[in-house]
Amino acid sequence: MSETAIASTHYGDLSGTISIDLNHGLSFEQLRNKIKIPAGYFPIGLRVSVQEPMADNNLCVSLIAVDCDVAGAGGNELASYVATHDEIPAFEFFAKVEVTMKDLLELIKELEIVAFSKVLEDKRVVILRDS
């Protein structure tokens, strides 16, 4: 079974986009070590879920990775694959250990989340600014 990688929740009250700048010199390697991705897979993304109650401050974290034999091992190989394919087949590897919000925030230099009401039905929102 396959699914398109897109964020969703049970009710989907808000949906939108997220953009993250990682701290200088950091990569998925810190999380890769915790999540134990098998050799031969290259991480290309992550999924973070928070579910109530979050009393223990732990997150559900997984890394999304490509098979290096299919899409390359990063850098130029992965870029070449992406340029010639409309879909990127990937696998999801779930953390087998606790990942806290602190662990995640240590990787992030800047974070922005923009989310809108589901009533908008994924319509494009244009924010008007005074000139």
Whether residue 116 lies inside any domain: the answer is: yes
83-111 exposure pattern, b = at least 16 Cβ within 10 A, e = fewer? eeeeeeebeebebeeebeeebbeebeeee
Residue 79 falls inside a structural domain = yes
Instruction: Please give the chain's pLDDT, 131 residues, in tens.
Output: 777 777 777 778 888 888 888 877 656 766 777 778 899 998 888 888 877 765 566 788 888 999 999 999 878 899 999 999 999 999 999 876 777 788 778 888 888 888 888 888 778 888 889 86
Is the residue at 8 inside a domain? no
DSSP string, 5-35: -----SS-SEEEEEEEEEPTT--THHHHHHH
Q: Nearest to residue 26, comparing CAs of 93, 82, 103?
A: 103
Any domain includes 55: yes
66: domain range? 14-120
pTM: 0.77
Convert the pLDDT of each residue in 10-42 to its tens digit.
Answer: 778 888 888 888 877 656 766 777 778 899 998
Beta-carbon contacts of 107 under 8 Å, excluding residues fewer than 6 positions away, are 22, 23, 26, 30, 31
Is residue 6 a part of any domain in this protein? Answer: no
Work out how many domains the chain is built from and give that number.
1
Q: Is residue 106 part of a domain?
A: yes
**Would you say residue 1 lies in a domain?**
no
Q: Is 130 within a domain?
A: no
